[in-house]
Every structure is written in structure tokens, then in C-alpha cells.
Amino acid sequence: MSIQRYRLGCPIWSNRDWTGRFFSATLPGQLLRQYSSVFNTVEGNTTFYGLPRHDVATRWHEDAAAGFQFCFKFPQSITHELRLRDAGAETQAFFDRMGLLGEHLGPFWLQLPPAFGPAELPVLESYLAALPEGFDYAVEVRHPDFFSQGEAGQRLDQLLQGKGIDRVILDSRALFSASPDDADTREAQRKKPRLPVQPLVTGKRPCVRFIGHPDIAANRPFLEPWVRQVAEWITTGLTPYVFTHTPNNRYAPELARLFHELLKVQVDSVGELPPWPATRQEDSGQMDLF
């Protein structure tokens, strides 16, 4: 049985460090097929930096397993450069290209820059109102005023609730609990935001980005509250999305497996996480899945 009742994935679907441990070394060029045979979603960070070619997007559609979803980010040209203003042409180009993914499209993520604050909420409202119908959306904010108990956060939540749009929740506490003893941890701590954690629900698909400690076991006390929260969301009929990061994402799959094992104790119906492709038995030189 595969994952049921919620979505679990990593920030990326390929990492050279996963080869031989997560990926089978016998199937080069089929990393998405292998990844999506285990996890049922992934963060689509690649689109933040630019649109994939037509043939690449088509190949992603072909390679993704049935039921798999990409959560693609809006390009930074829209969110960070234009700041959602006069971005009609860029937005149309984004949807034209990503529409090639069809049934594999999960919520599109609008990740806003730290300087995008309460004064720009009318801009956000106008942009969201103009987005195409028939898709799901989530918004990630990083301006500190949205995390206070004041009016700014309330206005944002009311805006998103009114449109059924989810608010992405980022939790970097485990990462910042680590000693910066290695270059990957120091770089992750330099890049990742350190903001208050608010497990708010403004839609039907709460999204959690968990930025973990490099020592997988050290994440348990930080994961356990999320296990309880996700279990509660599932039992109330929501469909949570959980994404696990580690410095350089070298051990992101292991962190995801730990989360799922802890959650399964709370909600048995979430099913089993399939074994890694690298560990599956081969039959006549081919993995049975392929």
C-alpha cells in the first residue's frame, strides 16, 4: 500500500547523493519515475528560477506516477521582480507551460519576498482574483508583520480564507537548533528564514515545509508536534501536504520516512511508505516497478 490521505515529499526529486541509497543506480535518466514510486508529491522549486522547456514539461508528465502531484512555485520574475504588478503576460506564460502537466498539478505556490508586507495586501488580493480558476493555490509570506498577533496577519488570513487558498507554513526550528559545524548546515542557516511557526488553516490543503536538522534522529522532538497536528488535520477531512528538507537535502528522503513512520502510529490508514527503489529486488535485470 502506498501513502494515503495526505501528501508527502521532498523539496526536489533528484539529488546525486541519493544514488545507490534511494535511487537505483541501474536506471539513469528515470529519477522522477523512481521518486514518484515512493512519494506522492514534490516541491516544484525549479520553476521559481525559470520555466522548463515544452519537451521537459511533457517528459515530467509522462514520467510521473499515477496520482503524483507537483507543487510548482510561481517564477521569481512574477513574485520578486514584478512584485505581482503588471505580470499578466508572465503569469499566462507560466500557466500555458505548466498546464502540460495536467492531472499531476498540485497547488501552485506563491512565495513572496520578505519585503512584501501588509501595505501590499491589496496587490496580492488583485493578483489572486485574476488567477485562472480550476487550480489550487497556496501563499507563503515572509514579512515579519504577518506573524505577529496584529491586524496584518488577520487581514492576510481573512483574504486567503475567503478564497479557499492555503497559507504555506515553514518551520525551520530544527535546522537552527543544529550547531553550524559543516558547510551545508551553515549555508542552510544562512539562506532559510527564521520565522514564528503558526499552524494556520485557511484552505483545505495545509502545507508544511519542515526544514530539518542534519542528524535525522535529532528531528524527532520537532517532528512529533507536527505528527499530532497532521493527524488531526487528516481526521477532520483535510489533505495536508508535508515536505521535509535537510541541509543540502542529502537526507531529505530519510527525514520523510521518519515522519511517515511516526504518523502511521497515530493514523494507521495513511498506509505504508514503499521501499526505496535502490532496495527493491530486480527481476531479469529490470526492477519490477518498471
53-102 tens-digit pLDDT:
999 999 999 999 999 999 999 999 999 999 999 999 999 999 999 999 99
Q: Are strands 166-171 and 137-140 parallel, antiparallel or unpaired?
A: parallel
287 found inside a domain: no
φ and ψ of 71, to 5 deg: -110, 85
Per DSSP, the residues of 211-255 read E--SSGGGGHHHHHHHHHHHHHHHHTT---EEEEE-GGGTTHHHH
* Residue range of the domain that includes 60: 7-280
The answer to whether position 97 is within a domain reads yes
Is 186 inside any structural domain?
A: yes
Residue at 171 is within a domain: yes
pTM assigned to the model: 0.94
Task: Indicate the average pLDDT of the chain.
Answer: 94
Q: State residue 65 phi and psi, 5-degree precision.
A: -70, 160
The verdict on residue 289 lying in a domain is: no
Handedness of CA 195, 201, 203, 209 (dihedral sign): positive
What confidence score (pLDDT) does residue 1 get?
62
Structural domain contains residue 181: yes
Per-residue pLDDT reduced to its tens digit, 118-145: 999 999 999 999 999 999 999 999 999 9
Number of domains forming the structure of the chain: 1
